Protein backbone atom coordinates (compact mmCIF):
# COMPACT_ATOMS: atom_id res chain seq x y z
CA UNK A 1 0.00 0.00 0.00
CA UNK A 2 1.19 3.50 -0.79
CA UNK A 3 0.20 6.41 1.39
CA UNK A 4 0.22 9.78 -0.33
CA UNK A 5 -0.38 13.04 1.53
CA UNK A 6 -1.49 16.22 -0.18
CA UNK A 7 -0.01 18.68 2.28
CA UNK A 8 0.90 22.34 2.29
CA UNK A 9 1.11 25.13 4.85
CA UNK A 10 -0.84 27.25 2.36
CA UNK A 11 -4.60 27.26 2.02
CA UNK A 12 -6.47 27.19 -1.25
CA UNK A 13 -3.57 25.83 -3.31
CA UNK A 14 -5.38 22.72 -4.59
CA UNK A 15 -4.86 20.00 -1.98
CA UNK A 16 -8.45 18.78 -2.19
CA UNK A 17 -8.70 19.16 -5.97
CA UNK A 18 -5.49 17.25 -6.56
CA UNK A 19 -6.11 14.59 -3.89
CA UNK A 20 -9.49 13.66 -5.38
CA UNK A 21 -8.29 13.78 -8.97
CA UNK A 22 -5.15 11.81 -8.11
CA UNK A 23 -7.48 9.24 -6.55
CA UNK A 24 -9.46 9.29 -9.81
CA UNK A 25 -6.30 8.67 -11.83
CA UNK A 26 -5.34 5.73 -9.61
CA UNK A 27 -8.88 4.30 -9.59
CA UNK A 28 -9.23 4.40 -13.39
CA UNK A 29 -5.75 2.88 -13.72
CA UNK A 30 -7.15 -0.14 -11.86
CA UNK A 31 -5.94 0.53 -8.32
CA UNK A 32 -8.00 0.31 -5.12
CA UNK A 33 -8.05 3.73 -3.49
CA UNK A 34 -9.37 5.33 -0.34
CA UNK A 35 -9.28 9.07 0.36
CA UNK A 36 -9.09 10.27 3.99
CA UNK A 37 -10.32 13.80 4.53
CA UNK A 38 -8.13 15.10 7.36
CA UNK A 39 -9.32 18.70 7.05
CA UNK A 40 -12.05 19.95 9.43
CA UNK A 41 -13.53 21.78 6.43
CA UNK A 42 -14.35 18.28 5.04
CA UNK A 43 -14.40 19.44 1.43
CA UNK A 44 -13.54 16.00 0.06
CA UNK A 45 -16.43 14.59 2.08
CA UNK A 46 -18.69 17.28 0.60
CA UNK A 47 -17.74 16.09 -2.89
CA UNK A 48 -18.19 12.43 -1.90
CA UNK A 49 -21.67 13.21 -0.54
CA UNK A 50 -22.78 13.98 -4.10
CA UNK A 51 -22.57 10.17 -4.52
CA UNK A 52 -20.84 10.25 -7.90
CA UNK A 53 -17.25 9.38 -7.00
CA UNK A 54 -16.31 5.80 -7.90
CA UNK A 55 -14.15 5.46 -4.76
CA UNK A 56 -14.77 6.13 -1.08
CA UNK A 57 -13.83 9.13 1.04
CA UNK A 58 -13.77 8.79 4.83
CA UNK A 59 -13.79 11.67 7.31
CA UNK A 60 -10.60 10.66 9.15
CA UNK A 61 -7.85 8.02 9.16
CA UNK A 62 -9.43 4.57 9.34
CA UNK A 63 -8.94 2.65 12.61
CA UNK A 64 -7.64 -0.47 10.85
CA UNK A 65 -5.38 -0.64 7.83
CA UNK A 66 -7.64 -0.74 4.76
CA UNK A 67 -7.09 -3.21 1.94
CA UNK A 68 -6.23 -0.66 -0.73
CA UNK A 69 -3.35 0.15 -3.06
CA UNK A 70 -3.46 3.90 -2.37
CA UNK A 71 -4.40 5.63 0.86
CA UNK A 72 -4.67 9.31 0.00
CA UNK A 73 -4.70 12.02 2.68
CA UNK A 74 -6.30 15.38 1.97
CA UNK A 75 -4.75 17.57 4.67
CA UNK A 76 -5.79 20.87 6.19
CA UNK A 77 -3.52 23.84 5.50
CA UNK A 78 -1.44 23.28 8.62
CA UNK A 79 2.30 23.23 9.12
CA UNK A 80 2.02 21.63 12.58
CA UNK A 81 0.66 18.27 11.46
CA UNK A 82 3.44 16.44 9.65
CA UNK A 83 1.96 13.68 7.48
CA UNK A 84 2.87 10.17 8.62
CA UNK A 85 3.62 8.99 5.09
CA UNK A 86 6.67 8.48 2.90
CA UNK A 87 5.38 10.48 -0.07
CA UNK A 88 4.08 14.03 0.10
CA UNK A 89 2.66 15.98 -2.79
CA UNK A 90 2.94 19.65 -1.96
CA UNK A 91 0.63 21.79 -4.06
CA UNK A 92 1.56 25.44 -4.47
CA UNK A 93 0.77 28.28 -6.82
CA UNK A 94 3.40 29.68 -9.15
CA UNK A 95 4.16 32.53 -6.78
CA UNK A 96 7.35 33.58 -5.03
CA UNK A 97 5.52 33.85 -1.70
CA UNK A 98 4.21 30.28 -2.01
CA UNK A 99 7.68 29.08 -2.90
CA UNK A 100 9.19 30.75 0.17
CA UNK A 101 6.53 29.28 2.45
CA UNK A 102 7.00 25.83 0.96
CA UNK A 103 10.79 25.95 1.16
CA UNK A 104 10.58 27.01 4.81
CA UNK A 105 8.67 23.85 5.79
CA UNK A 106 10.79 21.55 3.61
CA UNK A 107 13.16 20.78 6.49
CA UNK A 108 10.22 19.29 8.44
CA UNK A 109 9.76 16.57 5.82
CA UNK A 110 13.26 16.03 4.50
CA UNK A 111 13.12 12.30 5.38
CA UNK A 112 10.25 11.89 2.88
CA UNK A 113 9.84 11.99 -0.86
CA UNK A 114 8.32 15.37 -1.61
CA UNK A 115 6.93 16.30 -5.01
CA UNK A 116 6.23 19.98 -5.49
CA UNK A 117 3.13 20.40 -7.61
CA UNK A 118 2.74 23.84 -9.15
CA UNK A 119 -1.01 24.01 -9.47
CA UNK A 120 -3.40 26.15 -11.49
CA UNK A 121 -0.62 27.60 -13.61
CA UNK A 122 -1.92 30.32 -15.91
CA UNK A 123 0.56 30.19 -18.78
CA UNK A 124 -0.75 33.47 -20.20
CA UNK A 125 0.83 35.31 -17.25
CA UNK A 126 4.48 35.95 -17.95
CA UNK A 127 5.86 35.84 -14.37
CA UNK A 128 3.81 32.76 -13.50
CA UNK A 129 4.94 30.95 -16.64
CA UNK A 130 8.62 31.76 -16.06
CA UNK A 131 8.55 30.64 -12.40
CA UNK A 132 6.57 27.49 -13.24
CA UNK A 133 9.04 26.53 -15.99
CA UNK A 134 11.99 27.13 -13.66
CA UNK A 135 10.44 24.91 -10.97
CA UNK A 136 9.52 22.31 -13.61
CA UNK A 137 13.16 22.20 -14.71
CA UNK A 138 14.05 21.54 -11.05
CA UNK A 139 11.66 18.59 -10.85
CA UNK A 140 8.29 20.07 -9.92
CA UNK A 141 5.09 18.70 -11.45
CA UNK A 142 2.86 21.18 -13.30
CA UNK A 143 -0.93 21.30 -13.34
CA UNK A 144 -2.52 24.04 -15.41
CA UNK A 145 -5.33 26.39 -14.50
CA UNK A 146 -8.34 24.64 -16.05
CA UNK A 147 -12.02 25.30 -15.46
CA UNK A 148 -12.66 21.55 -15.78
CA UNK A 149 -11.15 21.07 -12.30
CA UNK A 150 -13.61 23.54 -10.81
CA UNK A 151 -16.61 22.28 -12.80
CA UNK A 152 -16.06 18.59 -12.21
CA UNK A 153 -15.74 18.85 -8.42
CA UNK A 154 -18.74 21.16 -8.22
CA UNK A 155 -20.68 18.29 -9.88
CA UNK A 156 -19.21 15.80 -7.41
CA UNK A 157 -16.95 14.19 -10.00
CA UNK A 158 -13.28 13.94 -10.92
CA UNK A 159 -11.98 15.02 -14.33
CA UNK A 160 -11.83 11.31 -15.21
CA UNK A 161 -15.62 11.17 -15.20
CA UNK A 162 -16.00 14.14 -17.56
CA UNK A 163 -16.26 13.69 -21.30
CA UNK A 164 -16.00 17.30 -22.37
CA UNK A 165 -13.44 19.56 -24.00
CA UNK A 166 -10.38 19.95 -21.79
CA UNK A 167 -10.98 16.86 -19.69
CA UNK A 168 -8.41 14.76 -21.54
CA UNK A 169 -5.63 17.31 -20.96
CA UNK A 170 -6.45 17.42 -17.25
CA UNK A 171 -6.53 13.61 -17.09
CA UNK A 172 -3.10 13.47 -18.72
CA UNK A 173 -1.67 15.84 -16.09
CA UNK A 174 -2.92 13.61 -13.29
CA UNK A 175 -1.85 10.41 -15.04
CA UNK A 176 1.67 11.81 -15.31
CA UNK A 177 1.64 12.54 -11.56
CA UNK A 178 0.43 8.99 -10.88
CA UNK A 179 3.24 7.55 -13.06
CA UNK A 180 5.75 9.60 -11.14
CA UNK A 181 4.47 8.34 -7.78
CA UNK A 182 4.43 4.76 -9.06
CA UNK A 183 8.06 5.11 -10.11
CA UNK A 184 9.10 5.96 -6.54
CA UNK A 185 8.73 2.39 -5.36
CA UNK A 186 6.35 0.80 -2.93
CA UNK A 187 6.20 2.18 0.56
CA UNK A 188 6.86 -0.19 3.40
CA UNK A 189 4.27 0.47 6.08
CA UNK A 190 5.93 -0.35 9.37
CA UNK A 191 3.70 1.49 11.81
CA UNK A 192 0.25 2.15 10.52
N1 LIG B 1 -5.74 23.35 -11.54
C2 LIG B 1 -6.76 24.16 -11.20
N3 LIG B 1 -7.35 24.94 -12.13
C4 LIG B 1 -8.37 25.77 -11.81
N5 LIG B 1 -8.88 25.90 -10.55
C6 LIG B 1 -8.34 25.14 -9.58
C7 LIG B 1 -7.26 24.23 -9.84
N8 LIG B 1 -6.94 23.62 -8.68
C9 LIG B 1 -7.77 24.11 -7.74
N10 LIG B 1 -8.61 25.02 -8.27
C11 LIG B 1 -9.63 25.80 -7.55
O12 LIG B 1 -8.96 26.52 -6.52
C13 LIG B 1 -9.77 26.57 -5.35
C14 LIG B 1 -8.99 25.95 -4.17
O15 LIG B 1 -8.77 24.58 -4.45
P16 LIG B 1 -8.84 23.49 -3.28
O17 LIG B 1 -10.08 23.64 -2.48
O18 LIG B 1 -8.57 22.19 -3.91
O19 LIG B 1 -7.59 23.97 -2.41
P20 LIG B 1 -7.17 23.45 -0.95
O21 LIG B 1 -5.69 23.59 -0.87
O22 LIG B 1 -7.74 22.11 -0.69
O23 LIG B 1 -7.88 24.53 -0.02
P24 LIG B 1 -7.97 24.46 1.60
O25 LIG B 1 -6.61 24.88 2.10
O26 LIG B 1 -9.04 25.46 1.91
O27 LIG B 1 -8.32 23.05 1.97
C28 LIG B 1 -11.04 25.80 -5.67
O29 LIG B 1 -12.01 26.73 -6.07
C30 LIG B 1 -10.64 24.92 -6.85
O31 LIG B 1 -11.74 24.63 -7.70
MG1 LIG C 1 -8.86 21.38 0.92
46 lines ligand 1 (CB under 6 A): no
Q: Whose CA is nearest to atom 13 of ligand 1?
A: 12
- Kindly give the pairing relationship between strand 87-92 and strand 141-144: unpaired
- The whole-angstrom distance between residue 122's C-alpha and the CA centroid of its chain comes to 18
Domain boundaries, the chain: 2-184
**Residues 99, 76: Cα–Cα separation, whole Å:** 18
- The whole-angstrom distance between residue 190's C-alpha and the CA centroid of its chain comes to 23
Sign of CA dihedral 34, 85, 144, 47: positive
Mutation probe of ligand 1 site: the residue of 7, 8, 16, 17 with most atoms within 8 A of C-beta: 17
Q: What is the pTM of this model?
A: 0.95
Rounded to the nearest angstrom, the distance between the alpha carbon of 191 and the centre of ligand 1 is 31
**Residues 162, 3: Cα–Cα separation, whole Å:** 26
Q: Whose CA is nearest to atom 16 of ligand 1?
A: 14
Tens place of pLDDT for every residue, the chain, 192 residues? 999 999 999 999 999 999 999 999 999 999 999 999 999 999 999 999 999 999 999 999 999 999 999 999 999 998 888 898 999 999 999 999 999 998 888 888 988 999 999 999 999 999 999 999 999 999 999 999 999 999 999 999 999 999 998 899 999 999 999 999 999 865 554 444
11 lines ligand 1 (CB under 6 A): yes
**Residues 172, 178: Cα–Cα separation, whole Å:** 10
The CATH number that domain 2-184 falls under is 3.40.50.300
Which ligand has its closest atom nearest to the C-alpha of 177? 1
Amino acid sequence: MRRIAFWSPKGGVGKTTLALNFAGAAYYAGYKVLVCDLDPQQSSIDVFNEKKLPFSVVPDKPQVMPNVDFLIYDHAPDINTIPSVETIIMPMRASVLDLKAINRCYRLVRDKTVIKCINAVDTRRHDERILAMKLFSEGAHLVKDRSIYVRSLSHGETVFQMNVYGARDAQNELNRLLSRVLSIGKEKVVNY
